[in-house]
Structure 1
Amino acid sequence: MKSPSATLLAEVRTFRQNHPDVRYVDLIALDIPGHFYGKRYPVEMLEKVAAGSPLKLPQNAVLLGAQGGLFKIGDYCFNDGDPDANRRLVPGTLKPVSWESQPLGQMLITSDGTAAPIEFEPREVLAKVLERLQHKGIHPVVAFELEFYLFDKKLDKGLPQFARDPLSGDADDQPNLHIERLSRFSEVLDDMAQTAQEQGIDITVITAEIGPGQFEINFGHCDDGLRAADWAALFCRSTRGVALKHGYRASFMAKPYLQFPGSGMHVHVSLYDAAGNNLLAAHQQQPLRHAVAGCLELLPHCMPIFAPNHNALRRLGGTVNAATRASWGFEDRDACVRIPESDPRNLRIEHRLASADANPYLVLAAILMGLEHGLEAKREPITSLNEDRNSGTDFPVEMLDAVRAMQQQPVVRDKLGAEFVDVYCENKRQDHLAFQQEIHAREYRWFL
């Protein structure tokens, strides 16, 4: 068996042979708000890192706010000397970048698996949850679905414009689910799918969604939770790049139009034992009910993860298939937790609450935490929407309320890590306050 460094070195050398024109590789990781940060390395230096040379980046890069600035969070950022922290290369993620003007490569990096992982790094948070489940004999299989909008590349006074229909040249301003929209936008959509596949992402179904210029991409079911979240993160990056190449602007913003549906991140999760038996299907599906109860119990305390910004909170309620309360149901897209019809082998939950711009590592960590808590607590869920359309429990829809609910919940603190919860909640609080520090033109119209 090859050592990790030998495997990485072989990956880098194979990449250089197959892409001799690539001189630089972007080493990237996702920060707390879900943006990529990193460094652009000469490919020959990457070979040295793969062989074992240290790879260090500032620890506090993980703490960047939505606009890239640093907030004072405890002793981090301003009282800690801004130390470096070790990162490692993620095997299998070195791929060519085809949407830039010059040949490039990109590769994921992470602190999980290093001697001193960063406790609040999103990928590390998920890695800990998955490791704990594995020790309990629980093996998740995960599939993400992501909705996004296409806009015209040019903004109009900072506001998005409808994407132009390539066939007619007119704005694609009619909300519909017509299959013909896939044909009319096939050039850019096909390029997005092909580029994602080049990144190692298992793309399956493409759907035209209800909103004008809105589409959904489904990923294959994956028995590696970290890889499944990697796919979601990398897809967002490549899709934005491909859209710009074709004269569009792709956005995973949760609610770009008040009058049209928002964009969600739907996550399908099955749980299996070491023998491949579906744990949720055992004992007349009683574990499924327990898992649903756990998800719903912790959901109101994970809202800063599922709806991570002011705009994401706008998406909840008021439009088709967006829940206003923590609820569940069989084959019900109005529920936060939907149980799709399936045979016992493929029985799963579909968690539908998260916005498309949420951090996929943290969304999956929060969902798995809820399932784990439910299986342990063994409580019955509230009445399903199939039995009572008014069933559900309230969750906070204001960011400061959501932050307080998350920071004070003992199960969340225990299973996601108290250090992460405190850092994450303060990051969201500071982002929210910074967002409020601008007077909108509407305020002058109303109050001047």
Structure 2
Amino acid sequence: MTSPYPDLMTEIRDFRLHHPDIRYVDLICLDIPGHFYGKRYPMDMLEKVAAGGSLKLPQNCIQLGLQGGVYEIGDYFFKDGDPDAERRLVPGTLKVVSWEAQPLGQMLITSDGTAAPIVFEPREVLARVLERLRGKGIHPVVAFELEFYLFDKHLRDGHPQYPRDQLCNDADDQPNMHIDRLSRFAPVLGEMVEAARSQGVDATVITAEHGPGQFEINFGHLDDGLRAADWAALFCRSTRGVALKHGYRASFMAKPYLQHPGSGMHVHVSVYDEAGLNLLADDDQRSLGHAVAGCLELLPGCMPVFAPNINALRRFGGSVNIANRASWGMESRDASLRIPDSDPHNRRIEHRLAGADANPYLVLAAILAGIEHGLEARREPIAPVNTDRNSGVEFPLDMLASLDGMQSNPDLQTALGAEFVNVYCENKRQDHLAFMQDISAREYRWYL
């Protein structure tokens, strides 16, 4: 058998040699809401797929609703016959699943790179943006940072409870950034990092964050944007699995507590030319200003990507280190775009607006589209918050208004693909309307 990806066949055979007890592998792909879907394959069938054998899944798996609902979007689902679409294995992603009770492997699959990529698959959307940038001689280097909360495994009346550490069984109910919290939760945090590394994810710094049971883990910088987004997606999957193994519930929900800080997805981006020179340091940093201006100009239209649900929009109210407008600043954590202090070669933008539950492929695609837009338009940015604390551009904090803004934005239709924008916005619109079909206990208390 000859594989279209020669290293892929070697990867599979080496994996089987070193893990003879693993009989099944989960082939997984991220959908629009940010959930993995896929199939569990016998290991002995994987080489056939790698050699060019068919690997097909329903095309419309990608656009299932947040709760798995089927939405009619254009001709999809109800008028297209729900056809199968080709997927391929992603080389370098066949890894051991260490948090399951039985031996298991997992591997990413995607439609990008196939004969007929699915234009609304999140990984394909990012792949097209990266390919377009490469054609212009622009090469991003990317690093994600993800915040998340640990909760007790059991909910109380549907509400999350503070986690108890395994050393003294005390509830972590004090918001702080103390280093002692890392020690109290060392067993679960340590295994989270090891599980991530076993997936090939370069998990680095761990921080105890402001919220009770809240942590942040940083990833290394990568010159492969697709792989960087893969890391963020895989980390969420392994972290949830390890937490359950230890008796906790891990969540990337953007705003689980109204009284405590939300969880964000911070993305550091530098861009380089063919010679390896940092474009953001070019022309005495005027290019940095242009990139910032482009990101800020597209940011209001990208809100459905950065805040993909009603809970994510709650994160923008009353918390520390979170912007309520499209803004930027040098070393400013309460701006949407922070410019960290660095030498010219490492000059970068830290995009801080997205919630931790956003889709990492789409977040990075939107950020890169903003940088591309700015470098080409060459407009000057608004004043930084360092010189004007009131500087900033309003962005929508209502779900339906944000969707209208994205769907009607011609720049985003061009940058991300018109078909994707329409499918994505309709998916989110119907998710939102489905969510609103419920009368809460508060409504009865207030209005009955």
Same fold (TM over 0.5): yes
- For residues 270 and 7 of structure 1, the distance between their equivalents in structure 2, rounded to whole angstroms, comes to 29
Say which is worse superposed, 163-172 or 146-155, in terms of deviation: 163-172
Shift of 1:46: 1.2
Shift of 1:274: 1.1
The answer to whether structure 1 residue 446 and structure 2 residue 446 are counterparts is yes
Q: Superposition pairs for residues 367-378 of structure 1, below 5 Å? A: 367-378=367-378
Instruction: Read off the aligned partner of 1:397 and give its amino acid letter.
Output: L
Shift of 1:132: 0.2
Matched with 2:71 is: 71
- For residues 439 and 43 of structure 2, the distance between their equivalents in structure 1, rounded to whole angstroms, comes to 46
Q: Summarize deviations over 1:325-369 as a string: whole Å, max 9, x none.
A: 000000000000000000001000000000000000000000000
- For residues 151 and 222 of structure 2, the distance between their equivalents in structure 1, rounded to whole angstroms, comes to 31
- For residues 214 and 124 of structure 1, the distance between their equivalents in structure 2, rounded to whole angstroms, comes to 32
CA contact (8 A) 1:166 1:185 kept: yes
The answer to whether structure 1 residue 204 and structure 2 residue 204 are counterparts is yes
Q: Superposition pairs for residues 235-384 of structure 1, below 5 Å? A: 235-384=235-384
Shift of 1:438: 1.1
- For residues 209 and 126 of structure 2, the distance between their equivalents in structure 1, rounded to whole angstroms, comes to 30
Q: Superposition pairs for residues 119-130 of structure 1, below 5 Å? A: 119-130=119-130
Q: Summarize deviations over 1:30-76 as a string: whole Å, max 9, x none.
A: 00000000000011111210111010000000001110111110000
Matched with 1:157 is: 157
CA contact (8 A) 1:5 1:52 kept: no
- For residues 42 and 123 of structure 2, the distance between their equivalents in structure 1, rounded to whole angstroms, comes to 25
CA contact (8 A) 2:3 2:50 kept: no
Structure 1 unmatched ranges of 5 or more: none
Report the 3-state secondary structure (helix = DSSP H, G, I; strand = E; otherwise coil) of the residue aligned with 1:444.
helix
Q: Summarize deviations over 1:72-104 as a string: whole Å, max 9, x none.
A: 100001110000000000000000001011000
Matched with 1:21 is: 21
Matched with 2:181 is: 181
Shift of 1:168: 2.4
- For residues 157 and 4 of structure 1, the distance between their equivalents in structure 2, rounded to whole angstroms, comes to 53
Structure 2 unmatched ranges of 5 or more: none
Report the 3-state secondary structure (helix = DSSP H, G, I; strand = E; otherwise coil) of the residue aligned with 1:350.
strand
CA contact (8 A) 2:3 2:51 kept: no
Matched with 2:89 is: 89
CA contact (8 A) 1:141 1:222 kept: yes
Shift of 1:3: 5.8
CA contact (8 A) 1:255 1:315 kept: yes
- For residues 274 and 180 of structure 1, the distance between their equivalents in structure 2, rounded to whole angstroms, comes to 45
Instruction: Read off the aligned partner of 2:441 and give its amino acid letter.
Output: A
Matched with 1:428 is: 428
Instruction: Read off the aligned partner of 2:193 and give its amino acid letter.
Output: A
Report the 3-state secondary structure (helix = DSSP H, G, I; strand = E; otherwise coil) of the residue aligned with 1:284.
helix
Report the 3-state secondary structure (helix = DSSP H, G, I; strand = E; otherwise coil) of the residue aligned with 1:233.
helix
CA contact (8 A) 1:203 1:220 kept: yes
Shift of 1:4: 3.4
- For residues 25 and 355 of structure 1, the distance between their equivalents in structure 2, rounded to whole angstroms, comes to 30
- For residues 8 and 52 of structure 1, the distance between their equivalents in structure 2, rounded to whole angstroms, comes to 11
Instruction: Read off the aligned partner of 1:144 and give its amino acid letter.
Output: F
- For residues 188 and 225 of structure 1, the distance between their equivalents in structure 2, rounded to whole angstroms, comes to 29
CA contact (8 A) 2:292 2:328 kept: yes
Report the 3-state secondary structure (helix = DSSP H, G, I; strand = E; otherwise coil) of the residue aligned with 1:128.
helix
- For residues 446 and 194 of structure 1, the distance between their equivalents in structure 2, rounded to whole angstroms, comes to 48
Aligned length, in residue pairs: 447
- For residues 150 and 358 of structure 2, the distance between their equivalents in structure 1, rounded to whole angstroms, comes to 18
Say which is worse superposed, 8-17 or 52-61, in terms of deviation: 8-17
Report the 3-state secondary structure (helix = DSSP H, G, I; strand = E; otherwise coil) of the residue aligned with 2:108.
strand
Q: Superposition pairs for residues 410-429 of structure 1, below 5 Å? A: 410-429=410-429
Shift of 1:423: 0.2
Instruction: Read off the aligned partner of 2:80 and give its amino acid letter.
Output: D
Distance 1:99 1:273, change over 3 A: same
- For residues 156 and 317 of structure 2, the distance between their equivalents in structure 1, rounded to whole angstroms, comes to 28
Say which is worse superposed, 166-175 or 238-247, in terms of deviation: 166-175
- For residues 37 and 317 of structure 1, the distance between their equivalents in structure 2, rounded to whole angstroms, comes to 33
Report the 3-state secondary structure (helix = DSSP H, G, I; strand = E; otherwise coil) of the residue aligned with 1:176.
coil
Q: Summarize deviations over 1:231-254 as a string: whole Å, max 9, x none.
A: 000000000000000010000000
CA RMSD, 1 decimal:
0.8
- For residues 35 and 322 of structure 2, the distance between their equivalents in structure 1, rounded to whole angstroms, comes to 25
- For residues 364 and 343 of structure 1, the distance between their equivalents in structure 2, rounded to whole angstroms, comes to 23
Q: Summarize deviations over 1:96-152 as a string: whole Å, max 9, x none.
A: 001011000000000000000000000000000000000000000000000000000
Report the 3-state secondary structure (helix = DSSP H, G, I; strand = E; otherwise coil) of the residue aligned with 1:4.
coil
Shift of 1:410: 0.6
Distance 1:298 1:388, change over 3 A: same
Report the 3-state secondary structure (helix = DSSP H, G, I; strand = E; otherwise coil) of the residue aligned with 1:236.
helix
Q: Summarize deviations over 1:216-267 as a string: whole Å, max 9, x none.
A: 0000000000000000000000000000000100000000000000000000
